[in-house]
Amino acid sequence: MNAFDHELSQRLASLREQELYRELRRIDSPQSSRVEVDGKLVLNFSSNDYLGLANHPTLKRAAIQAIEKYGVGAGASRLVCGSLAPHHELEQALASFKGSQAALTFSTGYAAALGTISALLGKDDIIVLDKLVHACIVDAARLCGAKMRVFSHNDLNELETILQWAANRSASSLNQGRILIVTESVFSMDGDQAPLREIISLKEKYGAWLMLDEAHATGLYGAHRRGLAEERQLDDCIEIQMGTLGKALGATGGYICGSRKLIDLLINRARSFIFSTAPVPAACAAANAAIRLVQSTEGAERCYLLWRLVEKARSAMKEKPARNREPASAIIPLLIG
Ligand SMILES: *Cc1c(COP(=O)(O)O)cnc(C)c1O
């Protein structure tokens, strides 16, 4: 073994010792409530395909039609010559779905977080995160170079203490630093929800901005299934709405919704958008079909079925999950030590 592989094998051994070593599991079927693993059909409790759209005939047809009309590749980044009609159609559909002025799509939610946060903040600014936000937000916070402060999960007192400190600091310095709070509406691992109304009053009190990651809520909450902000009637109070097209929407890609100015700034400054080949037309067309589908009667029925199944799973569990009232989300954590 050469020295390079020798060092890597030591690192891997250390992961194994800590019981942190992971391997890929090959699935030989489409995403569904049942998937084929090692020739066996098994029940799937771990997918984010909440509404069963990843293998839905309507999305497949849209993707196939897009391939036939626009081909498979996008050819270049959006700002060069890769900005195809399906990207623009998807962004129009997203903005009207979310009720925002404008929208921008990225190749993944991860890329959306990275590009957006580092376009908006720099070293003179402050970013304030919930302890349990997704890894892409933590990575983005590091990348942008702003001062990072973390509050305990959903702890409003700690958030306010940090905001007081941040507001004093930017008032006393010459370079008017910005303060950005980032949280999720439905948390990806614990499945609980953020106290959005309270967070919004705090950000208004201290003149901060709010970025809300609705990755696990888009397509699932609210009268138009825009997300949790819609359900709580708070859409208009959030500067930056983020989500993924890869979970309940069954396709792939990330999005940012907000004002026209926000989107224009991102087109000019978000490096993960500028320096990356545009998403393939098939993915945009599939996501666009999903956005139409979640707003239809069928979307409402699929949501209803999801909440019924969540309720059924919860009541069948011997070990009751912590929150046992309304199903807060379709994520039910079972701690197994
Ligand atoms: C999955 C996820 C993302 C990343 O989205 P992708 O499109 O999968 O890259 C971002 N934030 C949260 C909370 C997520 O769960």
- Residue 239's Cβ-side half-sphere holds a number of Cα atoms within 13 Å equal to 19
Structure tokens at 332: 């039910």
Give the per-residue pLDDT at 175. 65
Give the per-residue pLDDT at 171. 75
Work out the burial of residue 332: count CB atoms within 10 Å of its CB; fewer than 13 is exposed, 13-18 middle, 19 or more buried.
middle
Give the per-residue pLDDT at 42. 96
Cα separation, 31 vs 205, whole angstroms: 45
Give the per-residue pLDDT at 323. 53
Give the per-residue pLDDT at 169. 86
Give me the tens of pLDDT residue by residue for the chain, a chain 337 residues long.
899 999 999 999 999 999 999 999 999 999 999 999 999 999 999 999 999 999 999 999 999 999 999 999 999 999 999 999 999 999 999 999 999 999 999 999 999 999 999 999 999 999 999 999 999 999 999 999 999 999 999 999 999 999 999 999 877 776 678 999 999 999 998 899 999 999 999 999 999 999 999 999 999 999 999 999 999 999 999 999 999 999 999 999 999 999 999 999 999 999 999 999 999 999 999 999 999 999 999 999 999 999 999 999 888 887 665 554 556 899 988 877 6
Active site residues: 188, 216, 247
Give the residue, by CA position, lying nearest to ligand 1 atom 14: 215
Give yes or no for a contact between 331 and 193, defined as CB atoms under 8 angstroms apart.
Answer: no
Task: State the distance from the centre of ligand 1 to the C-alpha of 333, rounded, in angstroms.
Answer: 17
Spell out the long-range contacts of 261-269 with Cβ–Cβ below 8 A and sequence spacing 24 or more.
262/102, 263/101, 263/102, 263/103, 263/104, 264/102, 265/119, 265/120, 266/104, 266/115, 266/116, 266/119, 267/78, 267/79, 267/104, 269/119
Give yes or no for residue 248 CB within 6 A of ligand 1: no
Question: Which residue, among 112, 127, 117, 77, has the nearest Cα to 287 in the 3D structure?
Answer: 112
Give the per-residue pLDDT at 321. 58
**Which amino acid is located at 318 in the chain?**
K
Give the per-residue pLDDT at 322. 57
Residue in 117, 136, 190 to alter for ligand 1 test, most ligand atoms within 8 A of Cβ:
136
Give yes or no for a contact between 62 and 286, defined as CB atoms under 8 angstroms apart.
Answer: yes
Residue in 47, 137, 188 to alter for ligand 1 test, most ligand atoms within 8 A of Cβ:
188
Give yes or no for residue 212 CB within 6 A of ligand 1: no
Give the residue, by CA position, lying nearest to ligand 1 atom 10: 109
